[in-house]
Structure 1
Amino acid sequence: MDLDLAQVRAFTAAAEELHFGRAAARLAISQQALSKRVARLEAALGARLLDRDAHGVGLTPAGRRFLEPARRLLVHGDRAVAAVACARRPLRIDVWGHLYAPMRTVARAVEGVPGLEVEPVPGRDLPSVAAAVLRGESDAGFGRVHPLPDGRDAGLAHRLVRLEPVDALLSTDHPLAGRDVLRPADLRAGVLRYPAAVDRLDFLTRFADRFGVDDRTGSTNLGLEHFVERVRTDPTCFSLLPADCPLPDLPVATDGRPGVRTVPLVDPTPLYAWSLVWREDDAQPHPGLERLLAAFGEEARRSRWLEYDPARDWLPGPDEDALGR
């Protein structure tokens, strides 16, 4: 039988979202159209792929068997279309870690490649970006890479492109706010505030484990401005930000002080690792990917982005291993 790729795409979206409304929004079609496509696919295959009831959507045994081959089919279909496309499409990069302003680094590299068209797309986090890249929906991803549970990042290649020093973010009322520099050990008695759920930020967790910061508290990710305001109004806590990350404009205190400040960390200086990721087995990578990697390399040499001295700096173990590779 001949499979209709639009029907296969509707099924995979519903299977991944486990929600017809979200799947329809992802494909920019109506929920009714999505339901019809899935029903026609099931009729053609002679098997129910999805269970739908008042509790939600779930995969049947046949649906579970069909899902991975269906994903591969869509990837190859997209490659076939791309191979004969009349107009070159932009290089699509899913970017995550937005509180730390990753586009600062991407822009520096892209500006060094005249004529390179890039379509940056906001990604939710590393797991979602990894899934999009592995499915062929994106050409690359950019952010901080760390090992994912259950090997969900298997099949991805990545290259470190920037190591950025990290500062402590403090309320001006914090007892340590008047210091010119701080050691990570100075923060041991404080409360490390995460800009999202505690289990969502691998770098902060590794920092806290390494330097003995036992008190940790999560937040709802409502953007950098909201997060910095939380730090400003709580002199018992601190957080970490890459040194070049721009702070939002916040109301000043009654005495004219800005309310928050960043203090450089030394002995050692923590480094935040930015990486570009792509699918390792991609037989037809976007032609702009190699040019972008070369541009990152050139900017890293020019701006000394990859300088690391283990006697002076600190990197989490996986980042240090990646730098060695």
Structure 2
Amino acid sequence: MDLDLSLVRAFVATAETLHFGLAAKRLNTSQQALSKRIARLESLLAVRLFEREGGTRLTEAGERFEPAAREALAAGERAVAAARGRGRTVRIDVWGHLYAPMRTVAQAVEAFGAIRLEPGPARDWPSVADALLRGDTDLGFGRVHPLPDGRDAGLAQRLVRLEPVDAVVSASHPLADADELRPADLRDSTLWCPAELTRLDFLRRFADAFGITRRQDGPNLGLDHLVQHIRGDATCVTLFPADAPLPDHAGLRSIPITAPTPLYAWSLAWRESHRHPLLDTLLRGFTEAGRARRWLDYAPERDWLPEPDRTKLAGPAQR
């Protein structure tokens, strides 16, 4: 029989979420259309793949079918990439654009000139997770954190860099002349968050951990807007990676934070059922760059990481 990969994709999305509504949303279709695809696949295979009473769960046939279904999708994607001559291209979506994520990616891949990266239009981690699960991109790079409702199920990740962040204030801020600052020193300042705070997991956790109650957020209007806002408000402070470039330092002070030093965690993410042929090569590049530049240096008595990042660092080897 001919196996329609659109039906297989519907099955895999439903098997990963065990929820027809969530699977339909992931595939950008209606729940009715998804249900029809699953019913059509079950009819073609002459088996039931899901039990639908008392919650959605795989049948024994569904459990047997799932690994092979994932392989069929991966093989189909490889075939399309080969036909289009994309065998040496890696589609990568990055997020956290104000923190210049591509500078880290560039350092990791500079030794592999034969690899061509095709950047995608990502805005944030949830949108990249959805793109990875749909197969619209091969790799994501940014700060990975747990998503609600198990939306990141089916994704693997590798933490590749821990980057110290500085406090950035205007030259007229009361703390502007300090050589270094402790997180507690920022409690009388307003933490400026250059996007809706609900989308900025790192800044929210930092403020909660160190009792910074004055917080202001707004739309992400780019790095120039961030700089202008901090320069023009002597009460505000923001956090910025120590190595990331600011477009104009005039009227600003970038001050190291110590005791502890906050670290921003950068990770790679990909779909477990689709490992790009160049993924292992890229992972080696990040490992080598990280070893040479000490990207994963972490001392609990010296540094601060949000709890999810500490768990990843201390846990078993990542997939």
- After TM superposition, the score normalised by the length of structure 2 is 0.77
Does structure 1 residue 304 correspond to structure 2 residue 303? no
Q: 1:290 to 1:173 in 2, by over 3 A?
A: same
Contact 1:75 1:136 in 2 (8 A): no
Does structure 1 residue 65 correspond to structure 2 residue 38? no
Q: CA–CA distance in 2 between the matches of 1:65 and 1:137?
A: 22
Q: CA–CA distance in 2 between the matches of 1:311 and 1:67?
A: 54
Q: CA–CA distance in 2 between the matches of 1:224 and 1:87?
A: 33
SS of 1:128's equivalent in the other structure is: helix
The one of 293, 306, 309 aligned to 1:319: 309
Q: 1:164 to 1:311 in 2, by over 3 A?
A: same
Matches within 5 A, 1:243-322: 243-249=242-248, 258-282=250-274, 285-322=275-312
**Alignment partner, residue 235 of structure 1:** 234
Q: Which amino acid in 1 is paired with 2:313? A: L
Q: 1:181 to 1:68 in 2, by over 3 A?
A: farther
**Alignment partner, residue 37 of structure 1:** none
Gaps of 5+ in 1: 13-49, 51-57, 251-257
Q: 1:62 to 1:306 in 2, by over 3 A?
A: same
Q: CA–CA distance in 2 between the matches of 1:260 and 1:228?
A: 8
Q: CA–CA distance in 2 between the matches of 1:109 and 1:293?
A: 9
Q: CA–CA distance in 1 between the matches of 2:30 and 2:135?
A: 25
Q: CA–CA distance in 2 between the matches of 1:164 and 1:239?
A: 15
**Alignment partner, residue 20 of structure 2:** none
Q: CA–CA distance in 1 between the matches of 2:164 and 2:113?
A: 29
Matches within 5 A, 1:185-200: 185-200=184-199
**Alignment partner, residue 97 of structure 1:** 96
SS of 1:115's equivalent in the other structure is: coil
Q: Which amino acid in 2 is paired with 1:214? A: T
Q: CA–CA distance in 2 between the matches of 1:263 and 1:174?
A: 12
Matches within 5 A, 1:2-41: none
Q: 1:148 to 1:61 in 2, by over 3 A?
A: closer
Q: State, as a whole percentage, how many aligned pairs show the same letter.
A: 58
Q: Which amino acid in 1 is paired with 2:269? A: V
Contact 1:270 1:314 in 2 (8 A): yes
What is the CA-CA distance between 1:67 and the residue it aligns to?
Answer: 7.6
What is the CA-CA distance between 1:65 and the residue it aligns to?
Answer: 2.5
Superposed CA deviations along residues 65-91 of structure 1, whole A, max 9, x for unmatched, are 258899x89877434423555552401
Gaps of 5+ in 2: 11-23, 42-69
SS of 2:278's equivalent in the other structure is: helix
Q: Which amino acid in 1 is paired with 2:33? A: G
